Amino acid sequence: MNETKKEKNAKVKEFLLELCCVYTFVSVTGAIVNMLAGTETNNLNVLVMFATCTIATFVLFLHKLFDNFSPLFMMVAQYLIACLLIGAMLLIISKFVEPIKPRGWFEFYRSFTIPYIFLAGFFYYRVFSETKKEAELIKEIQELKGE
């Protein structure tokens, strides 16, 4: 199916809006945790956090590719795809910027997984509730036409 330019622009705007919301949420939460723990962050951490949010948001927006599969499979597959892309990003960073220690890999994936579960849960809740509303609307239209 060919998408019109308007539909593509709307999807890009939706992605960028979602990315901004996710990054803001993660940044503010990170700032609060840093304040409470008495730690600081650096520019590389901020850029990695933005790249991570971009990857996670992009992968979540691929949910339409998994429409033919069960929701559980979709969620697990998207998480694994995000982990692979983030792993590739970390490999690039470790080659050019600073090597990542084995414990650093574990810490990063733990730090990624916890917010990902919450944000993906919220994302999936919105997707499934929209789908449910659309299904109810279709059923209502069908009932009106059947009368």
Tokens of 70: 């069960």
- CA trace torsion 56, 60, 61, 63 (10° rounding): 150
Return phi, psi of residue 25, to 5°.
Answer: -60, -50
pLDDT digits (tens, 9 = 90+) for 54-96: 898 888 888 778 778 887 888 888 899 999 999 999 899 888 8
- pTM for this entry: 0.71
pLDDT over 80 at 140, yes or no? yes
Q: Encode pLDDT of 12-57 as tens digits.
A: 888 888 888 888 877 887 778 777 887 777 777 788 888 888 898 8
Q: Show the domain range for 113.
A: 5-146
Residues near 60 by beta carbon (within 8 Å), at least 6 away in sequence: 18, 78, 119, 120, 123
When divided into structural domains, the chain yields a total of 1
